[in-house]
Chains A and B, each alone.
Chain A
Amino acid sequence: MTQKTKIMLALKLAFKNLMGAGLRTWLNVSVLSFAFVIIIFYNGMIDGWNRQSRRDTQEWETGKGQFWHPEYDRYDAYTIKDAHAPMSEEIQAEVKKKNLAPVLITQATAFPQGRMQEVIIKGVDPEQTVLKLPTVTLVPSGDIDYAIIGKRMAESCKLNVGDRLLIRWRDKNGTFDAREIQIASIFKCDVPTVDKGQIYLSLDVLQKMMGMSNEVTMLVAGNGFINKDLKNWDFKDSAFLLADLDKIIQAKKAGGSIMEGLLLIIALIAIFDTQVLSIFRRQKEIGTYIALGMTRPQVVGIFTVEGGAHSILATLLGAVYGIPLFLLLGKVGISMKAAQMTDMAIAETIYPFYSLRLIIITIFLVVISATIVSYLPARKISKMKPTDALKGKLQ
């Protein structure tokens, strides 16, 4: 008998025995297929969230990287006061080419409906195209200073387009100033750090308000900007700027893996249990195989393949109901409205992303783990005496 014939024989026997077991097999396969589908679904959802959030954050906030004033630290509000410097001619040329979007940041207090709210004011060039912000509405008209805010900010301050908002700030010397601004537009953005507690004004307007002519806090790089070495500005790449998002995704994946592991363990325990029962009940069959000339390892192989074949059936069954389900979810998405209230960058609807890598890794994980738990009880066969096995004696 060639090796190939032996394998084919083992597979044939395994599938015949599995089908013969009927409901027991299908129960095991169902549980395993459920674990299989859940693993793909959850990871697909996280990957979909990750892709959307990265894309949104880059489009709305980080661009292709940012150049920070050396004093600036986004986690330390105390640094904002001193983090500003004039733009060099080289930078101004890049701004004109729309390769860089300059941003000036300052802190202020807004007074919506007589309430007091600390806000961050960002001055952005109305003509910039690097970020998705609708800055074109900031183009000044007459004496009115226009502002744009996000939906979250508008809801928290109860503001609508056309409303006026009184803001108070301190200029570069620390002198208080106050004036009314008018809300020109309210944008909808899935990145809370672009929206919450933030007001966007025209860069020129904010520079005048602060007495910081031509000065900015940071420069956001667009697709066309490739120079990463601007003198006196620190370049922060996407890996740095998206590190928080990566950490959240990793944490979510780690949390999800516990749930996936538990599901898989339940399915594998069922297979293990089935294997133990099979070996106990089918001793005569084992003895017959050995009597017919099969070596013990070959018999162990048959039983291991039989157990492992659960995973193949589970994969097929999972595909039967999983593929339509995944296609549907990929089209309609999953609502994440509740999660939008948090500080995480998350879209209102997440569209899961199922990569080939994810599917292959999950199949591999299910098949390997099912095979291992099938092998463990089958090892007992190697210690059986064929004569006793044929008699069906308990060993």
Chain B
Amino acid sequence: MKKIFMLFVSAIFLISFTNPNANVILDKVDKNMSSKNRIFESEMIIHGRRTSRTITSISYSAGNKQSFIEYLSPAREQGTKMLKLENQLWIYSPSTDRIIQISGHMLRQSVMGSDLSYEDMMDDRKLNDIYTANVTGNETIDGRNTYVLELIAKVDNAAYHHQKIWVDTERFVPLKQEMFARSGQLLKRTTLSDVKQVQGRWFPMSMVYKDVLKDGNGTEFRITSAKFDQKIPDYIFTKAALKQ
């Protein structure tokens, strides 16, 4: 009995000794994933029940308060623009030539049929600001060693009560993320891959979002070009830019 106890204590000591502090890991993750501003060109592949469709876009973001997306293809979505300022979101549709504010109930709807809701796009606060993290173990994903972190909300208004996140031990990039409801029900899963070094930071160029409560194969998000800390003109983050 004494031996088992000693073994257990040693295991805990070993884990705590070999794994760095969870907050340090999250800080490193935030440093990789967050930036002062960024410009992405990307493809969003929405897998439906029968077919898949690809939507390309260019997005400009400054911090986590301002972002502007313009859809480039297919023809049906071309010219559609989205603007997020603080916690407000507007959409411009060229077919109607109107700007619509998305709020309340509409925020829960999916973006162009994807597994992402407008709400998901809105909430991009730093993980360290919202969650208390604990390292719960180590796992290997696609041949990469990862720290498994359990994040529990430390603020009242976190979208997900807790999350589980697998962080690459060398690159400090999340490779998998699971979001849970307060009841413990798994709600969403994100798989991140194709990690590349861009301007001195590691960044996943491919992400698959899956709303586990609904059928389907999820939504793939592939970044074809990523630029960080660029000069983005202020007018991009104005409603006037939507109609331009």
Contact = CB atoms under 8 A, between A and B. Distances in A.
B181 A78 contact: no
Contacts, number: 70
Given A77-B104, A168-B187, A115 B215 contact: yes
A173 B154 CA distance: 12
A114 interface: yes
Contacts of A81: 104
Contacts of A77: 104-105
B142 interface: no
A168 B214 CA distance: 11
Given A77-B104, A78-B104, A176 B214 contact: no
B158 A178 contact: no
A173 B182 CA distance: 12
A118 B161 contact: no
A275 interface: no
A174 B2 CA distance: 47
Contacts of B158: 173-175
Contacts of A176: 159-161, 179, 181-182, 187
Contacts of A171: 182
Interface in B159-197: 159-161, 179, 181-183, 185, 187
A114 B210 CA distance: 13
A111 B213 contact: yes
Contacts of B21: none
A300 to B, nearest CB: 64
Interface residues of B, number: 24
Contacts of A177: 161, 181-183, 185
Contacts of B161: 175-177
A393 interface: no
B18 interface: no
Given A114-B215, A116-B214, A179 B108 contact: no
B182 A175 contact: yes
Contact of B187 (A78, A174, A178): A178
B103 interface: yes
B160 to A, nearest CB: 6
A174 B181 contact: no
B52 interface: no
A178 B105 contact: no
Interface in B89-127: 103-105, 108-110
B90 to A, nearest CB: 15
Contacts of B187: 168, 176, 178
Nearest to A79: B104
B234 interface: no
B156 A175 contact: yes
Nearest to B158: A175
Contacts of B216: 114
Contacts of B104: 77-78, 80-81
Interface of A: 77-78, 80-81, 107, 109, 111, 113-116, 118, 166, 168, 170-171, 173-179
Given A174-B157, A176-B181, 4 more contacts: A113-B215, A115-B214, A118-B109, A179-B181
16 contacts: A77-B105, A80-B105, A81-B104, A107-B105, A109-B108, A109-B213, A113-B215, A116-B211, A166-B213, A173-B157, A174-B158, A177-B181, A177-B185, A178-B183, A178-B185, A178-B213
